[in-house]
Structure 1
Amino acid sequence: MRLACIALLGGLLCLPVLPVIPSWPWLLLAGLAGLGLLRTLLYPLGWMLLGFTWACLSAGQALEQRLAPELDGRTLWLEGRVAGLPQQREGIWRFELQDVQARRAQLPARLRVAWHAGPAVQAGEYWRLAVKLKRPRGQLNPQGFDYEAWLLAQRLGATGTVKHGYRLQAAQGASQWRDQLRQHLLSLEQGPALAALLVGDGAALSAMQWQVLQATGTQHLMVISGQHISLLAGLLYGLVAGLQRLGCWPARWPWLPAACLLALSGALAYGWLAGFAVPVQRACLMLALVLLWRWRFRHLRIWTPWLLALCLVLLFEPLASLRPGFWLSFAAVAILLLCFSARLGARSWLASLGWAQWAIALGLLPLLLVLGLPVSLSGPLANLLAVPWVSLLVLPLALLGCLLLPLGELGEGLLWLAGWGLQLLFTGLQWLAEQQAAHAFAALPWPVLLATGLAALLWLLPAGVPLRWPGLLLWLPLLSWTPARPPVAEARVWLLDVGQGLSVLVQTHQHDLLYDSGPRSVSFDSGAQQVLPSLRALGVRKLERFIISHADNDHAGGAAAVLQGVPVLQLVSGEPRRLRLMRQAEACTWQTWQWDGVHFSQWQWAQARDGNQASCVLRIEAAGEVLLLSGDIDARAEQAWLAGPQAGVVDWLLAPHHGSRTSSSALFLAHARPRHVLFTRGWNNTFGHPHEEVVQRYLMQGVQAWDTARQGALLIALGRREPARGLREQQRFWREK
């Protein structure tokens, strides 16, 4: 049975690395072959083929539920019910719609929409809305968040912006009650943290609070997960077991079935309160199997319920493997099982808690590196203090206060105590975060990851296992590895995918320069969520120069996050007075310099009359190959550039002003004679960039076009005269072409 489960998992877990979904004839053939092999000695291969077939069929069905390409960008009237808890921040409501219907088109069953300055929206309401629809598409950067994979794992077939709407039916039932409870919790002191802890709504937590949680590796405490579900179940189980030990349990009632049933009932009730999100469903399923094992099947090894839970979760939702939380939760449970099952001797509860935190920190390290997530160096200490604080004090008080809210002051008082406990928790975590922030490793090659995984596994095995101490040598590749840098006289240029904005990283043999930082909006900061993770993935530890071409939001919006996240030795801008940053920028003046055999020069039009014309223009030359980063200059600034010291032929041209009609003049292109043009823009952006006339102008001159909206982040090896490479060349079945 165990071998069959492992083989089935091998097929179900294929989705994260699958480039395309095979066509149905191949899947039919694989399924029939799997069934045929089940009664042979090759039955593990049969189970693997069946798992692969089921995973591909489920993923293919989710892809078919996506918005049709011909509806991308169109505004349609539709009807649907609000699913989950709507989130409101700075005047923007974000929520999901389920059971979506439209008269004029076939739409996905589930959508995620945003409503700017819209009315209050409650869970469970039924609305008729005019929505500008958009196919699932996200920015793609080195080791960045894959929004398209997240949407597919949620089975959200489209996103959209609400233009108008009216309520057809008010909320009622459990959804309305949960939303009202959430609103009541948000009105309390430390309400956002209480709402995250009780009803699974972490959207109200501030960005600063999330940064503190990430820096200390305690995000799981504010997200309803297996830990919270297991804790409540353990308390209820322990209550029955304690009464039985004290002789207070009725002898005619078997205590073990009652304890298991009460624990599962409490977990399901908590899961219902939290909205039964996918992680909660996963935790309840695993808990149910563990309790069943404890009740009737203790003769089997504890790994059996873990394997069964893993198989059942993936059979129910194969797309769960696209979410990092799936891997982290099951891996954490496996690490605890490895460390505490079949061990000789007993530890005190304090020693067990400390060892558990150390084991999870060590065991999850290789997985965090694979997933490209930051590693909290203060995590073991923070969790050693925070886990019992939340588990034994804050969460019981919060749940009891929630249960006793109908009694008025008693429930309110307990919630106040829980909020006070959370306030103390965040104070302590913030102090720890200031002492030691989370460390983000650069993207590591597979040999280094494999050595790190083996080293962690050896140290998690019992003390008497041979090779534990020699296994310390396996940590050396991680500690000594440094990212490869471009050779002397060459530059590596990353044109990051920040939507309707611009951010370019230039790396030489020993230096790093950033040109612009992308936009910032109410709900999204390119600097924090795209640029900084990319810099860390590419091994950037400091920026010798950070050039902000001008002060418009699409170029400077993410600058504050970049300045806060990485040391910057020199800050330059075409509009230093308009920037409101934590430090003053230098003015962009004519200047040339050389780094590692690569020549740089920056220029600004002295007679500029607006921010676009005042853009700081950067020219980079490596081994005779030239790249021009032009900011948002218009046709008049282009003419001034032609008369300046930088003028000349270029090989790579960043299309001025994202391909706006007011730029890329014929005179400018005739003199610059670029071989490649780079467009940075958002997909289906409201500005219509790049303009069709501009695109045709480039095509008529035989210029090859590259587009971040279509190809993701672009990598240029300047000095080698090679074509650019887009990250969308790394095929995954969920990515739009």
Structure 2
Amino acid sequence: MGISNALHPSVGRQYGTYRFGLLGWLTAFAVGIALQMHQPELFAAWVYIFLTVVAGGVLAIVQVLVHRCLPQARSVFWPQRNFAIQAMAPWLMVALLGFGWAGMRAAWFAQSALPAALYGADVSVRGVVAGLPRVQDGVVRFRFDAETIGQEGDAHHQKLPQLIEVAWYAPSSTPFASKAMAEPHQDHVQFHVWPGQTLKVGDRWILTLRLRQPRGVRNPGMFDYEKWLWQEGVQASAVVRDPPNNTAPLWLGDSGGYRLDRMRQWVRDHLLAPRAQTNPSALSERSAGVLAALVTGDQRSIDQEDWEVFRITGVAHLMAISGVHITMFAWVAMAIVGGLWRHSRRCMAWQPAPTAALWGGLALAAAYALFSGWQVPAQRTVLMLGIWAVIRTAGLRWPWHATLALAACIVLLVQPWALQQAGFWLSFVAVGVLLVLAQRTQDAAKGSLSSHEHEKETPNFAPPNAAFATLLRGWRKLVRQGHQFWQLQWRLTFLLVPLTVSLFGQISWSGLLANLIAIPVVTFVVTPLGMLGIVLEPALWCATWCMEQLLAILHWIAQWPFAAVFWPAVPWYWAAVGLLGALWMVGPWPWWLKTQGAVLFVLMLTWRPAPVAEGEFAILAFDVGQGAAILVQTRHHSLLFDAGPSYRGGGDAGQRIVLPALQRWGVALDKLVLSHSDSDHTGGAFALMQAFPNMEVVAPFAQAPWAQSSLVRPDHQMARADRPISPCHSGVAWEWDGVEFAFLYPSHAQLQHWFSPAENGTKPPSNATSCVLKIRTRQSVRALLTGDIGRLQELELRMADAAALKADWLQIPHHGSSSSSSAGWIEAVSPRFAIAQAGFGNRFGHPHADVVQRYEDMGSIVVDSPHCGASRWQSMHPHAVVCDRLAQRRYWQRTED
């Protein structure tokens, strides 16, 4: 029942033209869920149950008793003069219902969290490998379905979360490519070497795990790892502890479960076989990974370079088995099933072709989603399409927006946390476009049928022979389907622009062309041949060859100028304005409404974040784990001090964190300062140099051969080029927008001494070569960035000019190591805020407790990234630091140290 039907009859007559119906219910329900997801802490479970029961009871009374059983009571419950109460009360109850329902689900799930007594504990856990293992750079990651922990009577014998995210690192003495070695141990197998590729889904193991609650880095507007694990049902992470200090991992054999995933793993390994060849081509290796992702849903098989190409060309949804991909697959499957169904008289006599196409396409899409991993976006999209199919089959003449609203409501009932997933909104728009296009196609089909009847009555229509008539009908059908595909694709591409700008900070201008090529090839050729290639080797060869050609085309398109542009990510309300404008532009509306839609769309694209004031600067210390990366912005310029670490499991902070953040915020770097050559400061530099080719690079190893720097890794071939680098040394200074920048350390003489060929062998440890940068406004608000200098370098700086060290904001030297931050240094700098960038639970103990105590004794406020996340500070407001982890506190975040 629509909301308008719940109002007084006079209200219904007065406002009858504004019937929001299910769309109003969806909006209110979604608002309630969104409010609950913004809670920093959960209420007790009984509070949510109470709210849900109250809201549901009030709605039931209003809908059933008042409006059906007791019409005479309307004047009592809904006096005509209180229209505001009449209009808002049902929506408020629906919003309260959404709040209570989401909170009840969250409170129930939180009860299975990792017990605090097990944080950091090494315990023996028996369980089953529950997800496809991923092997990369000497670490295998997988989901572990925990069954028991410890032994009966053991101090650690407690209930564990059902799913644990496990990382099993290869020992340094074990070659990454070696196979696992095992020896008999009674009826089982005891492993003494890292299993690597031999780990199979469905196997039961006894592992010694070091448990911890999931913890990820926190940066404003970026990927929330902790939220993602919460949505995936994972509430603990762990690292496998190996001998000799722990019991060797014990394999107990096949558990008999996870049969479908076990089959998926076999198929994935079969499709990835080209990678194991002696001399596979780079294109062959990459195409095998993409093919494995398309067939089995394991996107981790795709090379990072290819992901970048897919993102630029706007076809990433095809490779990620996203809601958009499932929707496109269902649309194509429906067309194929409907076409085949019409060729059978027996089938047509049993069920009409539209119904068979609807359910057949849905069944094929569900089967594909199931085999590709049955991931949350795929589940959500299949559910939405299923609801649409039920409504169509039942003959309900609902408008497309009511159908979509009902589907979204049911999805949010099943998965309330989907509201904060980008895939939910992308799927929502994609299914909506499909519904509109399906309605138009149905209307067009009726029109074409009338036209065909007219043609048959026209005497001039006389094809020369039956073969030509069949060919002509086939050609017309092909043109009509191509036109439908074009209509779907350009509308979908245009409508997704506001969402992609808001969610990803990007507009892919090449996306329409790339999708017109990629969707038919992937859907009609590569994916079917890849599935057939499981049993027929020639089909696999054909699929691989087609994928290679498609990759070559996409790589070519991605190299076009302006193939994709990075746009400042707009707030959600501006995205809503842009989406409304896009709907008006592509819909069957009058020209004046299309014009207004274009104005709204352009207004969204013109939004920009507020710039830094003239003569001021802002600092953002990224949360990159055990490393450093600090962004400094003036009104028209940006500098990055250090580029974050490289990670043992693959990738680096530049690629994963810093560059996506800069692109999302619309920031272009003018200067990159690498304080010294350690990998926890330079690991992400290469990705940044690729993204900003005109950026100036400054480093203390500028006079050393670039290829000999520890910055260069084997996979970074471009870094071996002679990249111009400016040296950082005292005396180098410049001014941006009224803000002064000056290097205080090292001196020019020290650089010459360290890197002179005649002084070979006298170079100090890399930490001692760190650049020290001072930033100062004309109002003498100052910041000091220090790299990894030690006490000796601190003493040199104090002796050179202690007064120049005064600062309001200080990067604590060497992440807060006990080898730095002497009492004399702290007294000379006297910072109001001291920032320590370090990894959570790092093995070095940074920041050291004694160092923190020294700063606090001097009156400084110590802010560390493990507890703060990314921190923001502005010279305009020097008395405040904003911590992203605290400012955006959510109940799924880790609370214990």
Structure 2 counterpart of 1:733: 891
Could you report, residue by residue, the CA deviation over 1:446-500 in whole angstroms, capped at 9, with x for unpaired residues? 6643432332121122143642113322234334333322222211111111111
Larger displacement relative to structure 2 (227-236 or 572-581): 227-236
Could you report, residue by residue, the CA deviation over 1:620-645 in whole angstroms, capped at 9, with x for unpaired residues? 11221221111000111111111225
C-alpha displacement at 1:679, in angstroms? 0.7
**Aligned in 2, Cα 1:66/1:176: closer, same or farther, shift over 3 Å?**
same
Q: Secondary structure at the match of 2:680?
A: helix
C-alpha displacement at 1:569, in angstroms? 3.3
2:126 alignment partner AA = E
Could you report, residue by residue, the CA deviation over 1:368-414 in whole angstroms, capped at 9, with x for unpaired residues? 23324432121111111111121222222223333xx1xxxxx1111
C-alpha displacement at 1:22, in angstroms? 3.5
Larger displacement relative to structure 2 (649-658 or 285-294): 285-294
Structure 2 counterpart of 1:478: 604
Indicate if the aligned counterparts of 1:336 and 1:359 stay in contact, CA closer than 8 A: no
Structure 1 counterpart of 2:370: 272
Whole-Å separation in 2 of the counterparts to 1:186 and 1:212: 20
Indicate if the aligned counterparts of 2:369 and 2:378 stay in contact, CA closer than 8 A: yes
C-alpha displacement at 1:309, in angstroms? 2.9
**Aligned in 2, Cα 1:676/1:234: closer, same or farther, shift over 3 Å?**
closer
Whole-Å separation in 2 of the counterparts to 1:348 and 1:236: 17
Whole-Å separation in 2 of the counterparts to 1:476 and 1:230: 28
Residue 609 in structure 1 maps to residue 609 in structure 2 = no
Structure 1 counterpart of 2:43: 22
1:91 alignment partner AA = G
C-alpha displacement at 1:56, in angstroms? 1.1
C-alpha displacement at 1:548, in angstroms? 0.3
Indicate if the aligned counterparts of 1:240 and 1:249 stay in contact, CA closer than 8 A: no
Indicate if the aligned counterparts of 2:146 and 2:160 stay in contact, CA closer than 8 A: no
Whole-Å separation in 1 of the counterparts to 2:596 and 2:402: 32
Whole-Å separation in 2 of the counterparts to 1:425 and 1:658: 46
2:429 alignment partner AA = A
Structure 2 counterpart of 1:655: 812
Structure 1 counterpart of 2:308: 211
Structure 2 counterpart of 1:512: 638
Residue 332 in structure 1 maps to residue 433 in structure 2 = no
Pick the aligned partner of 2:670 from 533, 544, 548: 544
Whole-Å separation in 2 of the counterparts to 1:238 and 1:593: 64
**Aligned in 2, Cα 1:648/1:122: closer, same or farther, shift over 3 Å?**
same
- Unmatched 5+ residue regions in structure 2? 3-20, 64-88, 151-155, 171-193, 243-248, 275-283, 446-478, 713-718, 755-762
Larger displacement relative to structure 2 (580-589 or 422-431): 580-589
Whole-Å separation in 2 of the counterparts to 1:322 and 1:148: 13
Pick the aligned partner of 2:164 from 88, 97, 111: 111
C-alpha displacement at 1:24, in angstroms? 3.4
Pick the aligned partner of 2:728 from 571, 588, 601: 588
Structure 2 counterpart of 1:408: none
Indicate if the aligned counterparts of 2:29 and 2:98 stay in contact, CA closer than 8 A: yes
Whole-Å separation in 2 of the counterparts to 1:717 and 1:250: 71
Could you report, residue by residue, the CA deviation over 1:303-352 in whole angstroms, capped at 9, with x for unpaired residues? 45433332332222222223221221122211333455358657932232
Structure 2 counterpart of 1:712: 869
Q: Secondary structure at the match of 2:263?
A: helix
Pick the aligned partner of 1:96 from 143, 149, 157: 143
Whole-Å separation in 1 of the counterparts to 2:662 and 2:418: 28
Whole-Å separation in 2 of the counterparts to 1:251 and 1:382: 37
Pick the aligned partner of 2:485 from 326, 348, 353: 353
Structure 1 counterpart of 2:132: 85
**Aligned in 2, Cα 1:465/1:77: closer, same or farther, shift over 3 Å?**
farther
Structure 2 counterpart of 1:316: 414
Residue 630 in structure 1 maps to residue 786 in structure 2 = yes
1:566 alignment partner AA = F
**Aligned in 2, Cα 1:145/1:437: closer, same or farther, shift over 3 Å?**
farther
Structure 1 counterpart of 2:251: 167
Whole-Å separation in 2 of the counterparts to 1:454 and 1:260: 29
C-alpha displacement at 1:81, in angstroms? 1.1
1:21 alignment partner AA = L
Q: Secondary structure at the match of 1:315?
A: helix
Q: Secondary structure at the match of 2:834?
A: strand
Larger displacement relative to structure 2 (254-263 or 129-138): 254-263
RMSD: 2.6
Whole-Å separation in 2 of the counterparts to 1:228 and 1:669: 56
Pick the aligned partner of 1:144 from 222, 228, 243: 222
Whole-Å separation in 1 of the counterparts to 2:306 and 2:202: 29
C-alpha displacement at 1:113, in angstroms? 1.2
C-alpha displacement at 1:232, in angstroms? 5.7
Pick the aligned partner of 1:181 from 260, 267, 270: 267
Whole-Å separation in 1 of the counterparts to 2:880 and 2:93: 44
Structure 1 counterpart of 2:835: 678
Residue 417 in structure 1 maps to residue 542 in structure 2 = yes
Could you report, residue by residue, the CA deviation over 1:76-120 in whole angstroms, capped at 9, with x for unpaired residues? 221221112111112210111124431313321111111112313
2:665 alignment partner AA = L
**Aligned in 2, Cα 1:478/1:316: closer, same or farther, shift over 3 Å?**
closer
Runs of 4+ in 1 over 6 A off after TM superposition: none
Percent of residue pairs bearing the same amino acid type: 35
2:50 alignment partner AA = L
**Aligned in 2, Cα 1:15/1:274: closer, same or farther, shift over 3 Å?**
farther
1:570 alignment partner AA = E
Whole-Å separation in 1 of the counterparts to 2:412 and 2:103: 12
Q: Secondary structure at the match of 1:275?
A: coil
Residue 532 in structure 1 maps to residue 554 in structure 2 = no
Indicate if the aligned counterparts of 2:489 and 2:516 stay in contact, CA closer than 8 A: yes
Whole-Å separation in 2 of the counterparts to 1:481 and 1:327: 21
C-alpha displacement at 1:527, in angstroms? 0.3
Higher helix share: 2
Indicate if the aligned counterparts of 1:339 and 1:461 stay in contact, CA closer than 8 A: no
Indicate if the aligned counterparts of 2:322 and 2:423 stay in contact, CA closer than 8 A: no
Residue 293 in structure 1 maps to residue 398 in structure 2 = no
1:32 alignment partner AA = V
1:547 alignment partner AA = V
Structure 2 counterpart of 1:430: 555
Q: Secondary structure at the match of 2:879?
A: coil
2:769 alignment partner AA = A
Indicate if the aligned counterparts of 1:213 and 1:219 stay in contact, CA closer than 8 A: yes
- Unmatched 5+ residue regions in structure 1? 406-410
Q: Secondary structure at the match of 1:426?
A: helix
Indicate if the aligned counterparts of 1:654 and 1:677 stay in contact, CA closer than 8 A: yes
Could you report, residue by residue, the CA deviation over 1:346-370 in whole angstroms, capped at 9, with x for unpaired residues? 7932232223222122212222233
Structure 2 counterpart of 1:157: 235
Whole-Å separation in 2 of the counterparts to 1:629 and 1:569: 20
Whole-Å separation in 2 of the counterparts to 1:269 and 1:154: 21
Structure 1 counterpart of 2:617: 491
Whole-Å separation in 1 of the counterparts to 2:385 and 2:572: 34
Could you report, residue by residue, the CA deviation over 1:395-438 in whole angstroms, capped at 9, with x for unpaired residues? 22223333xx1xxxxx1111211111111111111111111343
Indicate if the aligned counterparts of 1:650 and 1:672 stay in contact, CA closer than 8 A: yes
Residue 384 in structure 1 maps to residue 516 in structure 2 = yes
**Aligned in 2, Cα 1:642/1:354: closer, same or farther, shift over 3 Å?**
same
Whole-Å separation in 2 of the counterparts to 1:232 and 1:481: 35
Within a 5 Å distance, the mapping from 1:399-410 to structure 2 comes to 399-402=531-534, 405=535
Indicate if the aligned counterparts of 2:400 and 2:436 stay in contact, CA closer than 8 A: no
Structure 1 counterpart of 2:854: 697
Whole-Å separation in 1 of the counterparts to 2:128 and 2:653: 31
**Aligned in 2, Cα 1:304/1:331: closer, same or farther, shift over 3 Å?**
same
C-alpha displacement at 1:238, in angstroms? 4.9
Q: Secondary structure at the match of 1:473?
A: helix
Indicate if the aligned counterparts of 1:100 and 1:108 stay in contact, CA closer than 8 A: no
Whole-Å separation in 1 of the counterparts to 2:221 and 2:575: 15
Indicate if the aligned counterparts of 1:575 and 1:611 stay in contact, CA closer than 8 A: no
